């Protein structure tokens, strides 16, 4: 969620810190701030609103110094205003400390009462400010030692960066449940919550692990455990490839990323198809075929859009691999204590690889001795590092907060995994070859699907004033209905719900009226007649109907033309591939509705790209 960037070097820190904040804007935030330290003390500038507003407030000399920390906040405790923005500063005796913090301090209320009774004066309503007061009161000349004493007092999760006016040559960081990465430059060092903030600044990084401290100065960095024992941390090469901040000819990152999906699917499949054995293969599963052959059950755990991709995966694995699958919200799974059979694998899905609930659910599964696999897009992320094995999406950077290409890439990887497990079990070579040929055709089919862009723009103009919408599909397209409704909610703020089409008459049909459009996803599969009947039921009650349907069936064409107000045709494809095609028109529809309503498409209100708190 929140973003942290710190710098220690010889250059003016402010431009580097502001640039780092801009690179973190995609994560979602509501305020921003900078603190620098020099021989004259700590200089702070912060405000609610965008990084551009902060940059406008910062004059050339308003926050001088070659060492500093900066932050983009996503409100958890206290509203989004200047006072609650980070950094937070506290003074005690001769010492002045500033901190930025990602995460949640669960015992902040008790700490606040204790500190206030001892004379501390709080300037904000945040949980984070208690960290600054505690550090100032435990400071006796060594900020790292003060941090070591304070951390046992904190319950919750944190990524912390701190500076002290009386020790203006170092930044101290600490991590527990919220990511931090050290960037190693030439005669300078960075600390960030996300490696994206380091693009073009550092080509080597160290990923902090939970319960580790770091101390950065211009000339060196140290990694320590919470007892301040030195740790020999692994230095990794950072490779960003193409730039992450260029929209090209597109007005928004989200639209650009929707149209990048064919290429993203090609990248997700590249090198993972084994024609000789009519299967797929992966280099990072780290579990032998014999072990995978023994799997009796798969639990997929995820949140949000990744949860919807996992629901598609449930259909894929049960049909192609004949393995029972259970899909769990990570936020629920981590607190349940379900019986899990011995030969069960837990598969965690997270675009960022830092989703707090998914990470906690995966750790709980590992604690109980189950093998874990991860599917994520962010190389070096916590989930990717801690899972027993896994698969990267290779979808490229996704800047828009509302996920698009990561969703389809997740579904593509799940399809390849289902093929792999299926070939280990019952699928014949001929069946595997057929599946491979069908998968290879998907990127081009998706390019054809995206030709509906102008038609969808027209539909957005027609229905963009609706207060509520219903999305319905069956089988493989039911999770796509959920995802389409989520996209509309996320970026246009229109209330929308997704349902299995057959469930409509068990309650949601009560919502149908002339002002509530229903979007039906219609495949050429075995349930098509049932879904067409549902369409006619909505139409009979005066509800507007938008159909997203497969070409190639004259009977479907004729029936839909008589009962649907608008039809978006997508290329005919096997049922298990249709989620990869049907999702694109729904993404475009949400995009254009949001644009027409004047919403901030790439940075929707209240949302964050990487949800690192509960």
- Which residues have a catalytic role annotated? 2, 609
DSSP-assigned letters across all residues of 525-550: STTHHHHHHHHHHHHHTT--EEEEEE
Strands 156-164 and 95-105 turn out to be antiparallel
Round to the nearest angstrom and report the end-to-end CA distance of the chain: 11
Q: How far is CA 297 from CA 294, 322, 415, 441, in A?
A: 9, 10, 17, 30
Residues 6+ apart with CB under 8 A from 246: none
Per residue, the 3-state secondary structure of 131-192, as one string, reads: HHHHHHHHCCCCHHHHHHHHHHHCCEEEEEEEEECCCCCCEEEEEEECCCEEEECCCCEEEE
CA dist., res. 286 & res. 273, Å (int): 18
Calculate the CA 282 to chain-centre distance.
Answer: 23
Residues 6+ apart with CB under 8 A from 242: 396, 397
Listed residue (301, 325, 312, 298) closest to 479, CA to CA? 312
* Helix, strand, coil percentages in the chain from 3-state DSSP, rounded to 5: 40, 25, 35
DSSP character at residue 402: S
Calculate the CA 219 to chain-centre distance.
Answer: 34
With beta carbons less than 8 A apart as the criterion, state whether 311 and 347 touch.
no
Show the tokens assigned to 196. Answer: 């994206």
Strands 344-350 and 297-302 turn out to be parallel
Q: Is 229 helix (H, G, I), strand (E, B) or coil?
A: coil
- How many CA atoms lie less than 13 Å away from 191 in the CB half-sphere? 37
* Radius of gyration from C-alpha coordinates of the chain: 26
Residues 6+ apart with CB under 8 A from 453: 588
CA dist., res. 593 & res. 587, Å (int): 10
Listed residue (44, 41, 136) closest to 83, CA to CA? 44
With beta carbons less than 8 A apart as the criterion, state whether 68 and 107 touch.
no
Q: How far is CA 145 from CA 132, 175, 213, in A?
A: 14, 15, 10
């Amino acid at each position: 969620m929140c973003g942290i960037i710190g710098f220690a070097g010889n250059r003016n820190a402010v431009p580097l810190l502001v640039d780092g904040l801009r690179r973190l804007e995609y994560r979602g935030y509501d305020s921003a701030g900078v603190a620098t330290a020099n021989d004259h003390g700590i200089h702070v500038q912060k405000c609610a609103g965008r990084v551009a507003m902060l940059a406008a407030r910062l004059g050339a000399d308003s926050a001088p110094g070659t060492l500093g920390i900066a932050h983009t906040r996503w409100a958890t405790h206290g509203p989004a205003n200047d006072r609650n923005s980070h950094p937070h500063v506290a003074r005690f005796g001769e010492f002045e400390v500033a901190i930025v913090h990602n995460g949640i301090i669960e015992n902040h209320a008790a700490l606040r009462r204790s500190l206030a009774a001892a004379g501390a004066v709080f300037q904000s309503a945040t949980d984070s400010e208690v960290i600054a007061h505690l550090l100032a009161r435990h400071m006796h000349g060594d900020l790292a030692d003060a941090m070591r004493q304070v951390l046992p007092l904190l319950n919750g999760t944190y990524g912390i960066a701190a500076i002290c006016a009386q020790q203006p040559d170092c930044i101290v960081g600490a991590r527990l449940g919220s990511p931090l990465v050290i960037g190693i430059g030439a005669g300078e060092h960075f600390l960030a919550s996300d490696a994206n903030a380091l693009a073009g600044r550092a080509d080597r990084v160290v990923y902090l692990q939970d319960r580790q401290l770091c101390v950065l100065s211009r000339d060196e960095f140290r990694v320590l455990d919470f007892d301040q024992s030195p740790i020999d941390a692994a230095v990794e090469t950072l490779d960003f490839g193409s730039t992450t901040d260029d929209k090209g000819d597109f007005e928004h990152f989200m639209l650009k990323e929707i149209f990048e999906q064919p290429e993203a699917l090609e990248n997700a499949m590249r090198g993972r198809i084994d024609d000789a054995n009519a299967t797929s293969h992966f280099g990072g599963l780290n579990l032998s075929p014999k072990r995978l052959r023994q799997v009796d059950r798969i639990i997929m755990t995820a949140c949000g859009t990744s949860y919807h991709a996992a629901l598609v995966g449930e259909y894929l694995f049960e049909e192609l691999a004949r393995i029972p699958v259970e899909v769990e919200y990570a936020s629920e799974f981590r607190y349940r204590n379900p019986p899990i059979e011995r030969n069960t694998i837990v598969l965690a899905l997270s675009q960022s690889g830092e989703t707090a609930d998914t990470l906690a659910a995966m750790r709980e599964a590992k604690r109980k001795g189950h093998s874990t696999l991860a599917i994520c897009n962010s190389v070096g992320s916590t989930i990717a590092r801690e899972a027993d094995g896994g698969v990267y999406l290779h979808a490229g950077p996704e800047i828009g907060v509302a996920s698009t290409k990561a969703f389809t890439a997740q579904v593509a990887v799940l399809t390849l995994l289902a093929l792999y497990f299926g070939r280990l079990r019952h699928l014949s070579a001929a069946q595997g070859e057929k599946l491979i040929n069908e998968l290879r055709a998907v990127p081009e089919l998706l390019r054809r699907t995206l030709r509906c862009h102008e038609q969808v723009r027209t539909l957005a103009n027609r229905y963009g004033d609706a207060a509520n919408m219903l999305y319905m599909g069956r089988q493989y397209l039911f999770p796509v209905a959920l995802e389409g409704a989520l996209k509309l909610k996320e970026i246009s703020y229109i209330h929308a719900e997704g349902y299995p089409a057959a469930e409509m008459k068990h309650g949601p049909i009560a919502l149908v009226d002339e002002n509530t459009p229903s979007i039906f996803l219609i495949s050429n599969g075995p349930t098509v007649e049932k879904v067409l009947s549902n369409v006619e039921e909505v139409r009979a009650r005066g509800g507007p109907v938008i159909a997203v349907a497969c070409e190639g069936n004259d009977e479907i064409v004729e029936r839909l033309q008589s009962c649907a107000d608008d039809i978006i045709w997508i290329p005919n494809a096997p049922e298990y591939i249709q989620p990869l095609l049907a999702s694109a028109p729904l993404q475009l529809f949400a995009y254009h509705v949001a644009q027409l309503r004047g919403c901030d498409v790439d940075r929707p209100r209240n949302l964050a790209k990487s949800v690192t708190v509960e």
